[in-house]
Amino acid sequence: MEKVDNMQEQISNLSRGMKILRKKQRRSTMRKKKHKGSAFDQLFSRLDKAEERIHELEDMSIETSKTQKQREARLKQTEQNIQNCGTMTKVITYALMGIQSKKEGTEDTFETIMNENFPKFVSDTKPQIQEAQKILRKTDALQKEEKINT
C-alpha cells in the first residue's frame, strides 16, 4: 500500500505541478499580449501626436501666408501713396510757379518761367531748347568713327 500511496502522492504532485505550469504559461501569454498591445498603443499614440503636430504646422503656414499677403498689400498701398504724394508735390509746385498744368509742354513751360522771371532777357533773344540726348548721340557717333579710322 505504501507504493500505491507514494504513487498517488506523486500523481497529485505532478498534477499540482502541471497546474502551476499552466498558470505560469497563461500569465506569460497574457504578459506577451499586453506587451504587444501596449507597443501598438504606443505606436498609435505616436502617430496621433505626429498628425496633431502636422496639423499645427499647416495652420501656422496658413497664418504665415496670410500675414505675408497682408504685408505685400500694405507695401503696394504705401508705394501708391508715395507716388500720389510725388504727383501732388509736382502739381503744387507748378501751381506755386503759376503754371496751371503740365499739359502745355516743356518748351511752353520754359518760356512761361523765363517770361515771369527774366522779362528783358526773353524779349531780346529767343532761347532755343536742344535735347541733350540728340547732341550726345551725335558726339558719340563722331567719336566712334574717329576710333574706327585710327
Calculate mean pLDDT across residues 1-30. 80
CA distances from 20 to 16, 59, 104 (A): 6, 58, 114
The three three-digit cell numbers of residue 38, written as one number = 501596449
- Which residue has 518761367 as its cell numbers? 113
Give phi and psi for 102, each to the nearest 5. Answer: -85, 0
Give the rounded percent of residues in the chain with a pLDDT score beyond 70: 71
Residues belonging to the chain: 150
Q: What is the pTM of this model?
A: 0.35
| 99 touches 91 (CB < 8 A) | no
Q: What is the pLDDT of residues 20-77, one digit of tens each?
A: 888 888 887 777 766 666 777 778 888 889 999 999 998 888 888 889 999 999 999 9
Residues with Cβ within 8 Å of 118's Cβ and at least 6 positions away in sequence, in order, are none
